[in-house]
Structure 1
Amino acid sequence: MASDSIVNWSLLALSAPGWGGVLLQGFFNSIQIAVGGFALGMALGVGGAFGKLYGGPILRDLLECYTTVVRAVPELVLILLLYYAGTDLLNQLLALFGIGPVDISGLMAGIFVIGVVQGAYSTEVLRGAIKAVPAGQIEAARAYGMSPLKVLRRVTLPAMLPYAIPGLSNLWLIATKDTALLAVVGFSELTLVTRQAAGTTKAYLLFFLAAGALYLALTLISNIFIGMLERHARRGFAEQR
């Protein structure tokens, strides 16, 4: 009977009693969290990188503590800590202002958790990329009278992209996998719904292979877009060298 469950493709049908639609919804939730968490991590990373490079000593020390702690603690522990303790801390702060407790959605909590973790790694990736930009380019921009903001927008950010994209692409792929850790807090992403489907039908191999195929498809598609972005960022780079 086990062999029947393995080849029973009707279990992957999009409509009931198949579980295909449920898997795709979980996959969509995983993509939402990965995109949101990566975007938040990028924002934190840009601020953290510039803070570490150009901020005052107190700011640099605080950012060093942030990146060190987040990168030292296992991500599963961070997810549990930020998800439960973070929600409780927010409600306690709201209570001080006379505001009742809020029910944070699993999607927003997941984006926040993944974003905080990604931010620590993005900070170091972007800091290294900024330091790799030849100092002469920035000095030349300043000599032309560009404001610091224009130097950042017209020189620093474009010049650092070729150095940052490989590291950031790895962080994006890690973000897509880290969404699976949110299953421990009950969020209905791909891993959790796959486990529910497999537990209900006992077709464990079928459903976990299907989930693996979806993750692999996301990785392959991501690699295509990352390659296109890297080629665009590196246009003329070889000639300059």
Structure 2
Amino acid sequence: MTLDLYGFGPALAAGTLMTIKLALSALALGLVLGLLGALAKTSPYKPLQWLGGTYSTIVRGIPELLWVLLIYFGTVQLMRNLADLLGIESLELSAFAAGTIALGICFGAYATEVFRGAILAIPKGHREAGQALGLSRPRIFWRLILPQMWRIALPGLGNLFMILMKDTALVSVIGLEEIMRRSQIAVTSSKEPFTFFLVAAFIYLGLTIVAMIGLHFLEKRSSRGFIRSAG
């Protein structure tokens, strides 16, 4: 028995590639924002603590779909005003860029709490040992804190990435042709909703399995020295 995709196989493959690109782009942005947010929340300076807490609270309190719509349509108006100011005929933000920003901001807000928990889980004695060796604060962070924080935070970040990959479907509402958008186009043309939505479900499942395998190897690699020392 063969699955008839009515010639939409290449389109679904292109949508899958777009989903992967979107997820990885949002992941990169979200990791940076999450790390900055965690450093702000664990900072001894009150204004930075307030800034990090405000970011994570506001972003997590608003649904991801609303962020996609707000950023896309908000930036469209902003770009138009900027184009009029600069005398440019057309200036706009693509659906891919808007989706990356929206999903990256949302991922970063949740990653802030994951990184924060990882930082707090590192014994203070490790920082004191670095200071006793005469290391500067940036060097202590990059050489002592960051490797341990990464190992502790990795499982939580992996779960957030699984959610992020599924949230890429939300960007279809602003016209980005990822898996769900391509599936909807195929359904409209073929009148076979069950077939194409089932195919989309298996594609997402396959991406999740691949991500889980990659996460397993990352966790194993990041824990090698820790396992040896613990043994």
Normalising to structure 2: TM-score of the pair? Answer: 0.92
Specify whether residues 54 and 99 from structure 1 end up closer, same or farther in structure 2 by C-alpha distance, changes over 3 A only. Answer: farther
Corresponding residue number in structure 2 for 1:147: 136
CA distance in 2, matches of 1:190, 1:170: 21
Matched, 1:24 2:13: yes
Alpha-carbon deviation of 1:229? 0.5
Corresponding residue number in structure 2 for 1:49: 38
Between the two proteins, the alignment pairs up a number of residues equal to: 229
Equivalent residue for 1:98, pick from 86, 91, 99 = 86
Alpha-carbon deviation of 1:52? 1.4
Specify whether residues 90 and 59 from structure 1 end up closer, same or farther in structure 2 by C-alpha distance, changes over 3 A only. Answer: farther
CA distance in 2, matches of 1:186, 1:65: 31
CA shift digits 1:14-54 (9 cap, x unpaired): xxxx0000001111111111000011000011111111112
CA distance in 2, matches of 1:77, 1:197: 26
CA distance in 2, matches of 1:219, 1:233: 21
CA shift digits 1:102-161 (9 cap, x unpaired): 121221111111111111111111011111111111110111011112111110011112
Alpha-carbon deviation of 1:96? 8.4
Amino acid of the residue matched to residue 209 of structure 1? L
CA shift digits 1:200-219 (9 cap, x unpaired): 10111111111111111111
1:212 alignment partner, SS class:
helix
Matched, 1:9 2:6: no
Q: What value does the CA root-mean-square deviation take over the aligned residues?
A: 1.8
Matched, 1:181 2:170: yes
CA distance in 2, matches of 1:84, 1:74: 16
Equivalent residue for 2:24, pick from 14, 25, 35 = 35
Corresponding residue number in structure 1 for 2:68: 79
Matched, 1:127 2:90: no
Specify whether residues 225 and 99 from structure 1 end up closer, same or farther in structure 2 by C-alpha distance, changes over 3 A only. Answer: farther
2:135 alignment partner, SS class:
coil
Q: Any unmatched runs of 5+ in structure 2?
A: none
Specify whether residues 118 and 148 from structure 1 end up closer, same or farther in structure 2 by C-alpha distance, changes over 3 A only. Answer: same
Pairwise mapping of residues 157-172 of structure 1 onto structure 2 (< 5 A)?
157-172=146-161
Q: Any unmatched runs of 5+ in structure 1?
A: 1-6, 13-17
Amino acid of the residue matched to residue 86 of structure 2? G
1:11 alignment partner, SS class:
coil
Amino acid of the residue matched to residue 233 of structure 1? S
CA distance in 1, matches of 2:101, 2:44: 24
Normalising to structure 1: TM-score of the pair? Answer: 0.89
CA shift digits 1:166-201 (9 cap, x unpaired): 110011111101110011111111101101101210
Matched, 1:213 2:172: no
CA distance in 2, matches of 1:235, 1:202: 52
Specify whether residues 141 and 31 from structure 1 end up closer, same or farther in structure 2 by C-alpha distance, changes over 3 A only. Answer: same
